[in-house]
Amino acid sequence: MGRVDYYHQGGSPAANSLVPGASAVVVDEQGRILLQRRRDNSRWALPGGVMEIGEGIGRTAAREVEEETGIEVEPDHVVGVYSDPGHVFAYDDGEVRQEFSVCIACRVTGGQLRPGDEALEARFFEPGDIPGLDMHPSIRKRIDDYREGRRAVIA
C-alpha cells in the first residue's frame, strides 16, 4: 500500500483515521542510535509501527524494533507523545491517518542487526552523523527530544 506524508502543507487531505502507534529510540553501549532506511520512501527513520489489539505500547515498540531491525530491546521511558494534527499520512485506499505515536527510549538486550521486510537497511549511527541523513522532520524531532534529555514531551 502506498503512502504519502503531509507535514504542515497547504492542500493536505483531512484526517479520517487515528491509529495508535509507537516508535523507539534505541541506543547501544557506544551511544549510537539505531535507524532503519524505509523501503517505502528510502528515508532514515526510527523503528516503529501500529499498536495491535491486546498489546501494550511498550510491547509495540519492542516488537516493531525486532521486526524492522532484528534487535531485541527493553522499553525504558517515554520520550514523547506525538499527535500533531498537521501531520497526516494518506494511503492509496483512501485512509488519511493523523499522526499518533508514543516514542519510547529502549535498551538493547540482544538480537542480530538486520533489515526487516519494511527496511532497506538498518544501522547504528553516531549522533553527530544523524543531522546529515535524509529523514522526515517528525523523526528528527523525536531524536532531538531524546538527545536533549527530554522525557514525556507532548507535541
Please report the domains of the chain, with CATH numbers, ordered by start residue.
3-154 (3.90.79.10)
The letter for the amino acid at 130 is: I
Below-70 pLDDT ranges, the chain: 1, 153-155
Predicted confidence at residue 154, as pLDDT, reads 64
The pTM of this model reads: 0.92
> What grid cell was written down for 114?
538486520
Listed residue (102, 89, 100) closest to 15, CA to CA = 89
Regarding beta strands 87-91 and 71-82, do their DSSP bridges make them parallel or antiparallel, or are they unpaired? unpaired
Buried/exposed code over 90-127 (b: 16+ C-beta within 10 A; e: otherwise)? beeeebbbbbbbbbbbbebeeeeeebbeebeebbbeee
Contact (Cβ atoms closer than 8 angstroms) between residue 5 and residue 84: no
Q: pLDDT tens across 8-19, in order?
A: 998 899 999 999
